[in-house]
Amino acid sequence: MQQGLITTVFLPLALGIIMLGLGLSLQLADFKRVLVYPRAIVVGLACQMLVLPFVCLGIAHLFDLPPVLAVGLMLLAASPGGAVANLYSHLAHGDVALNITLTAVNSVLSLLTLPLVVSFSLEHFLGATHAIPLRPDKVITVVSLVIVPAAIGMFVRSRRPDIAKRLDRPVRIASAVVLAVVIVAAIISERAIIADSFAQVGPAALAFNVASLAVGYFVPRLARIERRQAVAIGMEIGIHNGTLAIAIAFNVLGNRAMTIPPAIYSLVMFVTAGLFAYWVSRRHRAEVAAGIIGK
């Protein structure tokens, strides 16, 4: 599948701008707290690296996906989160500092784990092996779209906290509007493949997305990790880097059909992640109103 202007130019640019605003809500104390309590990072990485590949494997067999499409779905399980996860966590009052840390660490580790998961998938479903080269350019992309804009926003907050405070609510609203525009544009641009392939791949992609969000949120909660960090992990685990999965399928494996699951997943996840963000936000407001937690 050829990436259109929307997904290759406008979306990264929009996310970079959004991450700049997102950084306005962060300070160094957020990152220090993450380092003081590393359990959330360990649990999040365990969910991403160990649990999700097996969950995805089970879903591929449960829905009896054709081998090529099953490999395409496994590409998602092997792909890290991205800037969209950070944004949704921000909107849902999650621990964005944890999100950014997980995104950076996941992206680096995926250079090693992604080839292993994909090679296993190719052999398991297709009986073939294929070398997956490391993609250090993806780390550079993560840095440029996530860390650098957020760092600039944090710098502004550290120097002019009054400006950062005034901009916080407008930026949240603008972020939601920009995402809505991108989602609608993406659906319109990909309507042909959605119509042709959703009936076959859609249920499996939806099941994996819901399972990813559930694993990312409820496993940390069972591990007694506080709610904001669980929300962050849920978003990080539930929103995979579909662009990376598509790039590997199309440019590395040279298989157009393998791009279908990540393409459909990338559209489905906007809706499910939005519903998840709404649910956790309602719980957050209810707890604030009841005096259980502070604002």
Q: What pLDDT does 62 receive?
A: 94
Q: What is the mean pLDDT of residues 245-264?
A: 77
For 223-252, the pLDDT digits (tens) are: 999 888 999 999 989 888 777 777 777 767
- Cα→Cα distances 141→13, 95, 121, 163, Å: 11, 22, 26, 28
Q: What pLDDT does 273 receive?
A: 87
Q: What average pLDDT does the structure give for the chain?
A: 78
For 271-280, the pLDDT digits (tens) are: 898 888 888 8
Q: What pLDDT does 156 receive?
A: 81
For 160-200, the pLDDT digits (tens) are: 888 877 877 777 677 667 656 665 665 566 567 667 777 88
pLDDT surpassing 70 at residue 123: yes
The pTM assigned to this predicted structure is 0.73
Q: Which CATH number is 5-283 given? A: 1.20.1530.20
* More confidently predicted of 216 and 129: 216
Maximum Cα–Cα distance across the chain: 60
For the chain, give every domain's residue range: 5-283
Q: What pLDDT does 93 receive?
A: 81
Q: What is the mean pLDDT of residues 202-213?
A: 93
pLDDT surpassing 80 at residue 145: no
pLDDT surpassing 90 at residue 211: yes
Please state the three-class secondary structure of 34-93 as a single string.
HHHCCHHHHHHHHHHHHHHHHHHHHHHHHCCCCHHHHHHHHHHHHCCCCHHHHHHHHHCC
pLDDT surpassing 90 at residue 66: no
Q: What is the mean pLDDT of residues 154-159?
A: 83
* More confidently predicted of 163 and 32: 163
Q: What is the mean pLDDT of residues 46-53?
A: 91
Complete DSSP assignment for the chain:
----HIIIIIHHHHHHHHHHHHHTT--HHHHHHHHH-THHHHHHHHIIIIIHHHHHHHHHHHTT--HHHHHHHHHHHHS---HHHHHHHHHTT--HHHHHHHHHHHHHHHHHHHHHHHHHHIIIIIS--------HHHHHHHIIIIIHHHHHHHHHHHH-HHHHHHHHHHHHHHHHHHHHHHHHHHHHHTHHHHHHHHHHHHHHHHHHHHHHHHHHHHHHHHTT--HHHHHHHHHHHHS--HHHHHHIIIIIS--SGGGHHHHHHHHHHHHHHHHHHHHHHHHHHHHHHTTSS--
